[in-house]
Structure 1
């Protein structure tokens, strides 16, 4: 039952936002009593914490799978972007922003876990790009990995990039291209351009 509660709560939180969804809403959608939820979760904050790290775990598994099967580091980054966007339902409800505003401790803990995961996988990806001649030999892999994380976190700041002007898909797509164009070799640029052209709708 605990897993079912987490699954349903995750769907509702990602669609409607952490603040908007109540324990009553979750119970009603599941056809169970609120008491049943409280057997497994002391309060809404504990449920949000469980949901947040469950979603994070699923995303990590998916990213690992992409890293193991991608043709090259350029396609890998785009595949990860698509996977994350699909998993977070395009972030229409700004779950990250709501988490930061209403549940700052959970947000900070998640951010550190995200950084640890992303820093290592991006470093490996960058090194692979250097080794295969797609990225420049002289790039500082550790520095660029940190900058990439900082940028990906920064574009989610609604005060700088309002949703009324930018969709999250546009921001991620634009930032990815910006990031890659800064580090590719001529060979890498050819791969990037071909990939962008073939994936344009």
Structure 2
């Protein structure tokens, strides 16, 4: 029962952090919001940093579960990349940028964990898919996929917030400009219509 309570609390608290950032929400606020004593809350989470760390883990684990379903699909590697970024853009659009800014400023260890997941996504999912596309001759053979990924796909979340694209463009337009058109620039002529 305690694990269920903790999981529910973590899920709901994550939603609050994503909407309002971490600085504006205290452990007192969380205890009051969920009708818990502070003692109970601190039994579940050692401190706010521990709560945030588990919330970031939950955020990424949910995303990685969705990504793994795409990886298992029968799509070609470029279509998988696009499908992954469809989910990524949908998820990023629900997060207020204050969440990451507050992690950077006040919770460096948690931000390092967030960055670790981003690096894992790049190194263990995105780059292998680009390499597979290269091996299958779907993309131009001279493309340096690590460099391509770094300048086009790294820190896409921060770029989307920096340029306030969610205020002016649909998710489909964002996908086209940030992902699809860039991939079209490196596909071989024979594979252009695969995207």
Q: TM-score, normalised by structure 2?
A: 0.79
Distance of 1:35 and 1:171 partners within structure 2: 45
Distance of 2:139 and 2:79 partners within structure 1: 13
Aligned to 1:120: 124
1:34–1:86 CA distance, 2 compared to 1 (3 A): farther
Is residue 13–residue 30 contact of structure 2 (8 Å, CA) maintained in 1?
A: yes
Q: Which of 91, 96, 104 is equivalent to 2:95?
A: 91
**Root mean square deviation, CA, Å:** 2.8
Is residue 89–residue 175 contact of structure 2 (8 Å, CA) maintained in 1?
A: no
Q: Which runs of 4+ in 1 moved over 6 A?
A: none
2:184 matches 1:181 = yes
Q: Alpha-carbon deviation of 1:9?
A: 0.9
Distance of 2:170 and 2:114 partners within structure 1: 20
Q: Deviations over 1:37-68 (max 9, x none)?
A: 11122221221111112211222222122111
Q: Alpha-carbon deviation of 1:107?
A: 1.1
Q: TM-score, normalised by structure 1?
A: 0.77
2:55 matches 1:60 = no
Q: Secondary structure at the match of 1:155?
A: helix
1:146–1:163 CA distance, 2 compared to 1 (3 A): closer
Distance of 2:113 and 2:185 partners within structure 1: 30
More contact order relative to length (CA 8 Å, sep ≥ 6): 2
Q: Which of 68, 76, 79 is equivalent to 1:75?
A: 79
- Unaligned runs of 5+ residues in structure 1 are 193-201
Aligned to 1:34: 38
Q: Which of 8, 26, 46 is equivalent to 2:12?
A: 8
